[in-house]
Amino acid sequence: MIYNFCSLFDSNYLSRGIALYRSLEKHCKNFHLFIFAFDSRSYEILNQLSLTKATIISLSEFEDEKLLQVKPTRSVAEYCWTSTSSTILYVLENFNVDNCTYVDADVFFYSSPEPIFQELGEKSILITEHRYSPQYNKELKAGKYCVQFVTFKNDKYGLEALRWWRDRCLEWCYARYEDGKFGDQLYLDDWTERFQGVHVMQHLGGGLAAWNVQQYEFKKTGEKIFGKEIATGKEFEVIFYHFHYLKFFKNGKVELGRRKLSKEVISIFYKEYIKFLDEIALEIKNYDSTFDPHGSTERKFSWKNPLLYIYRKIFGVYNIFNKSKLLGS
């Protein structure tokens, strides 16, 4: 069985998107990744790389009348969220595949996703819980489920839910909470009741991210990473980690997000991932020496709220590091 994935990103996330592909290439033998390149620069560079198990799709190929109609009303991020469901539907309708899983570009695989698909079994839709640590619970605003890894089969139940989701995102998809909606994500909250054939991922090794890793301990054995749920002692192999909010700055600093991360998590996940992104960046510079595939920005810092700065320093959530020192330590 071939596992079909799709992802969307522009040149600011190019190194992350390529890292996603390479991690699948390493850990998932039978896969194909459909990449929706959201600007011309990413499209051009992706087509020069030897991504033998990827199909690169340009915006001009992908965008339809309905998407183009709402595009002027959405920010760049909002338009990406609006488009997520449409990318999955585009793959199912145009490439004659029986399944497609959307993954965020900043997801990275550490082992095969096959156990997740075995869980899905005969059901048609798979969704992923945030599994928030209590201190970072944003379920009311951001939703119970995370649009980071969501699977649809090309069948009656899968297409029914997918088309409903696309219609809702075309109607409303903004980066604000309003009337029980937030982006494309809160629409998923009632799917286990609204639609048939929905499975919620149970494997603790999938969907790891800064908002839930406080609940686990990790160890690396060779190339494999294992976790243990502190509350239950349940052990698992890590499948994928979502590097949400990882930011690069032009002054050589890097931010790992604004949630407390243990030294263990930073060492096992973040350091190795950033090193890999830097290797990819060097590779990309062979095609365009002026290009920054990390999407580095100017670091904006304000002393308007010094108490917030002090809080983050004291409680270990001020995760901004000099990148060279972080990687060298």
What is the set of domains in the chain, with CATH numbers?
A: 3-201 (3.90.550.10), 213-289+300-328 (no CATH)
CB 108 within 8 A of CB 240: yes
Amino acid at 204: L
Tens of pLDDT, residue by residue over 124-165, are 999 999 999 999 999 999 999 999 999 999 999 999 999 999
The 3-state DSSP class for residue 33 equals: strand
User: What was the pLDDT predicted at 304?
Assistant: 52
Reported as half-sphere exposure (CB side, CA atoms, 13 A), residue 221 has a value of: 6
Distance CA 234, CA 204 (A): 9
pLDDT of residue 317: 61
- The pLDDT value given to residue 312: 53
pLDDT of residue 52: 97
| Nearest Cα to Cα of residue 153 among 83, 84, 91, 239 | 91
Task: Determine the pLDDT at residue 328.
Answer: 86
Sites in the chain below the pLDDT cut of 70: 300-318, 329
298-301 contact pairs (CB < 8 A, 24+) = 298/249, 298/250, 298/251, 299/249, 299/250, 299/251, 299/253
pLDDT of residue 152: 98
- Per-residue confidence (pLDDT) for residue 318, from 0 to 100: 66
